[in-house]
Amino acid sequence: MTCWPSVIVATPAHSGVSASLSYRSELLLAPGTLVRVPLGKREVLGVVWDCPTEPPEGLTDSQTREVTGTLDGLPPLNARWRQLVKFAGQYYQRSLGEVALAALPPQLRELDNTQLARRLKRRTQAAAQPVESKLDQQTQPALSTEQAEALSALDTASVPVLLFGATGSGKTEVYLRATQRVLDAQGTGGTPTQVLVMVPEINLTPQLEARFRERFEPLYGAGAVVCLHSGMTPAQRLASWLSAHTGVARIVLGTRMAIFASLPGLRLIVVDEEHDPSYKSQEGARYSARDLAVYRAKIESGALSTAGGEAGTRCQVILGSATPSLESWHAADQGRYLRLAMPARIGGGSLPRLRLVDMNHQPKGAVIAPPLLAAMGERIARGEQCLVLLNRRGYAPVLACHDCGWKSGCPHCSAYRVFHKLDRTLRCHHCGFTERVPRACPDCGNLDIAPVGRGTEQVEEQLAALLADARRPDGQPPRVARMDADSTRLKGSLETQLAALHSGEVDVLVGTQMIAKGHDFRRITLVAGINVDAALFASDHRAPERLFALLMQAGGRAGRDAAHSAASEMWVQTWTPEHPLFAALKTHDFPAFAAEQLAEREIAGMPPFGAQALLRADARTQAAAQAFLNLAAAQALGLPHRDAITLYPAVPLTIQRVANVERAQLLVESASRGALQRFLSAWGPVLHDCRSAPEARGLVRWAVDVDPQVI
Ligand code: ADP
Ligand code: ZN
Ligand code: ZN
């Protein structure tokens, strides 16, 4: 029997190629089947979307090409997965083909059926290998009262759960128990149950992966826990994906890309540190993995009838954080999410006390205020550790000539190149352009060119000098180390550095936000943020929210061992100690901070009280970028819901030129998310046309960013 499957292939975001292409096949192909099809002169991977037995209208047999073959041994992608990618494409204004095919591992396109069969066999064999428990027996800690209450509330929750747990309150144990329950349960129709656990950056939280493996591999075999993130090789990604798709893997641990994994038995999604900005993609389809997690749980629960979810199945979602996003917090205020609070730390430890240092009253030019330095010396003498947080890597953000005013600008960007003293380079953190530091000022020949401002390299150097007279309990001078994107570039170096900290080899660790993430350090009793003010006055309205989260999270590294917690402190150096953010930080009062921020947002009509999107344009000149945007705005006249939409004037981005490309954007706002969505859908084809208008000559690319994180 002949049929005419419509097949989704990878199409560029705005190519205008219709969402699916019609082919011919002598076999009836189930929707979701992975196939190889001819496209132009190439053969590409595609997903069968539909398989009518009538030829599509207007097409004759001779015009349609034949499906080359199917990917044998792979069950079709189910209706729920297809609904997820379809929704993501629509909501984020990208083509279905782009989203669907980007969600599949790249290697799937390259393997023939023999190679594929071999990979599949390897997965099932690996999974069967028993793993010996490293623990004497499965010793699970007795739950704290708060953990037990959270778990029982989870049992009956019918909406997404916001697990609002302080740092060190034991959120991971709640995830582990919730996972255990799901894996214990019978899947429907022989499909094993599965759990998706998402983390912002997997490399920074090796302990989480270790705990999941330790707990579940002895029970379910070696292949039961797989990872999925962009740091993996294509072969590793394919292996994990196949395990998940065939139900061999019971738990997938991954970063934002994992939201698109095919998980036929999915019953629980955990989004750890749900407030983290890295859940929002900043390229391609700019999706929010957290928001898609909430949507996906709904589809998997069969709540959306079109997706064919089986009745009676349930998929829960847990969003966990000590400092939730204001969006999730607001949803909980409204009862759309269920908020479960775990305010107490395991073992009864207290959160660190806040010590604000008013920099207006410190000696001029002091990098580290004397009282902070003294406090660090005391910690070191007691054999305790300190973390120093500074969100700027390199030695100094600028190198300057004081004679002629030359500064180390990047020739390709509207930004300064950062001075890295260790390898004596000037490096652009935007385009990567790197040169040796000049011996003299390139403009006037002055030999005396000097760094301005400071980064982690410099603070590391200065702290080592300032603390030279301090002594560890063993009589040795303290060891100061640094951890940032530069120091961890080499494979394995992050692990080595973390190990040095855990073993107590390092007394003071200087680093970027990387050091604030989920590490479970035992001997840290002092955390210091030394240059935080920039975030308080940034034009980005999310900056305070991010600073609060960062400081709470960094503070959360201190005093995790109850024995030390009473004396643990969080120091913050600031020029504006009267800022209300610090008052909330002092009492660890996230609810108060959130309420205040939400009130401001409500007055301004900002998310979550209104919806936003950005139209972004990159062009050879700033004028061309803005001309495209302004034309797009003018052409929007008469589109559906235009009267419910505010289009702001086109403006250059804060860093307006990167790698010789000029960047501009236009903010789109509406009180109604639905209106914004319908407007954007109608605007898409218009934008596509504007691209070829004479005004837009020089345009390189454009993109729509729905629910943007950075404005
Ligand atoms: P969070 O993710 O909320 O910051 P963690 O899950 O890392 O906190 O837990 C903090 C510490 O408490 C970890 O060392 C963990 O092993 C321990 N822990 C968690 N739950 C329990 C429990 N019920 N009994 C004993 N220790 C626990
Ligand atoms: Zn000069
Ligand atoms: Zn540059």
Mean pLDDT, to the nearest integer, of 413-419? Answer: 94
What is the structure's pLDDT at 185? 87
Residue nearest to atom 16 of ligand 1 (CA): 170
**% of the chain at pLDDT higher than 70:** 95
Residue in the structure block whose two tokens are 């309205």: 541
- Choose between 536 and 387: higher pLDDT: 387
Pairwise CA distance, residues 299 & 266, whole Å: 10
Q: Is the CB of 214 under 6 A from ligand 1?
A: no
Residues within 5 A (CB) of ion ligand 3: 410, 412-413, 428, 430-431, 433
Looking at the predicted structure, is the pLDDT value of residue 578 above 70?
A: yes
d(CA 175, CA 343): 16
Classify each residue of 551-566 as buried b or exposed e, where b means 16 or more C-beta atoms within 10 Å of its C-beta: bbbbbbbbbbbeebbe
Rounded to an integer, the average pLDDT of 94-115 is: 91
Position 314: which residue type? R
pLDDT of residue 79: 95
How far, in Å, is the centroid of ligand 1 from the Cα of 421? 40
Q: How many A from CA of 187 to the centre of ligand 1? A: 29
Calculate mean pLDDT across residues 506-524.
Answer: 84
How many beta carbons lie within 10 A of that of residue 257, not counting itself? Answer: 18
Question: Which ligand sits closest to the CA of 400?
Answer: 2
- The Cα-based distances of 437 to 312, 431, 487, 651 in angstroms read 66, 17, 20, 34
Q: CB of 77 within 8 A of CB of 32? A: yes
CA-nearest of 200, 178, 208, 165 to 314 is: 178
Q: Is the CB of 349 under 6 A from ligand 1?
A: no
Measured from the CB, is residue 579 less than 6 Å from ligand 1?
Answer: no
Average per-residue pLDDT for the chain: 90
Average pLDDT on 654-672 reads 95
Q: Which carries the bigger pLDDT value, residue 162 or residue 538?
A: 162
Strand, coil or helix: 646: strand
Q: What is the predicted pLDDT for the residue at 124? A: 79
pLDDT of residue 112: 86
Greater confidence (309 vs 51) lies with 51
With a cut of 90, say whether residue 490 has pLDDT above it: no
What is the enclosing helix (H) or strand (E) of 706?
A: strand 699-706
| 303 has pLDDT over 90 | no
Top-confidence residue, 9 or 57:
9
Q: Atom 9 of ligand 1 has which residue's CA nearest to it?
A: 170
CA atoms of 373 and 24, how far apart (whole Å): 74
Q: Which amino acid is at 215?
A: R
Helices (H), 367-492: 370-381, 456-466
With a cut of 80, say whether residue 61 has pLDDT above it.
no
Give yes or no for residue 267 having a pLDDT over 60.
yes
What percentage of the chain has pLDDT greater than the value 90? 70
Cis peptide bond upstream of 5, omega within 30:
no
Segment 55-82 shows an average pLDDT of 86
Residue 701, pLDDT above cutoff 80? yes
Our answer on whether the CB atom of 177 is closer than 6 Å to any ligand 1 atom is no
- Supply the pLDDT for residue 518: 63
Does 316 score more than 80 pLDDT? Answer: yes
User: What does the alpha-carbon distance between residue 163 and residue 176 come to, in Å, rounded to a whole number?
Assistant: 14
Question: What three-state secondary structure class fits 650?
Answer: coil
State if residue 170 touches ligand 1 by the CB under 6 angstroms criterion. Answer: yes
pLDDT at 135 (0 to 100): 56
pLDDT of residue 513: 86
**What pTM was computed for the model?**
0.92
Q: How many whole angstroms from 124 Cα to the centroid of ligand 3?
A: 47
Give the pLDDT band (50/70/90) at residue 539. confident
Mean pLDDT of 640-665: 95
* 103: nearest Cα among 262, 275, 260, 309: 260
Give yes or no for residue 323 CB within 6 A of ligand 1: no
Out of 67-76, 201-210, 304-313, 525-534, least confident range: 304-313
Kindly indicate the confidence band of residue 311, based on its pLDDT and cuts at 50, 70 and 90: low
Position 217 scores a pLDDT of 92
Ligand 1 atom nearest to 207, measured from its CA: 7
- On the 0-12 / 13-18 / 19+ scale of CB atoms within 10 A, 278 is middle
If you take atom 2 of ligand 1, which residue's CA is the nearest one? 171
pLDDT (0 to 100) of residue 643? 95
| Beta carbons within 8 Å of 62's beta carbon, 6+ residues apart | none
Compute the average pLDDT of residues 53-73: 82
Residue 325: exposure state from Cβ atoms within 10 A (0-12, 13-18, ≥19) = buried
CA of 169 from ligand 1 middle (Å) equals 6
Q: What is the pLDDT, as a whole number, of residue 233?
A: 93
What pLDDT band is residue 560 in, cutting at 50, 70 and 90?
A: confident
Identify the residue whose C-alpha is closest to ligand 1 atom 25.
141
Domains of the chain: 6-78+88-103 (3.40.1440.60), 140-346 (3.40.50.300), 349-393+455-602 (3.40.50.300), 395-453 (no CATH), 611-706 (3.30.70.100)
* pLDDT tens-digit series, residues 333-353: 999 999 999 999 888 888 889
Helices (H), 141-248: 145-156, 171-184, 206-220, 234-245
Band the pLDDT of 603: cuts 50, 70, 90: very high
Ligand 1 atom, smallest distance to 556 CA: 4
Phi, psi of 156 (to 5 degrees): -110, 0
Q: Has residue 310 got a pLDDT over 70?
A: no
Band of residue 514 on the pLDDT scale cut at 50, 70, 90: confident
Atom of ligand 1 nearest to the CA of 169: 3
pLDDT, tens digit (0-9, with 9 covering 90-100), for 200-239: 987 777 788 889 999 999 999 888 999 999 889 999 999 9
Whether residue 19 has pLDDT greater than 80: no
Cα 400 to averaged position of ligand 2 atoms, centre (Å): 8
- Residue 285 CA: distances (Å) to CA of 199, 269, 684: 19, 21, 14
**pLDDT tens digit sequence for 85-104:** 999 999 999 989 999 999 99
Place 12 in a pLDDT band, splitting at 50, 70 and 90: low
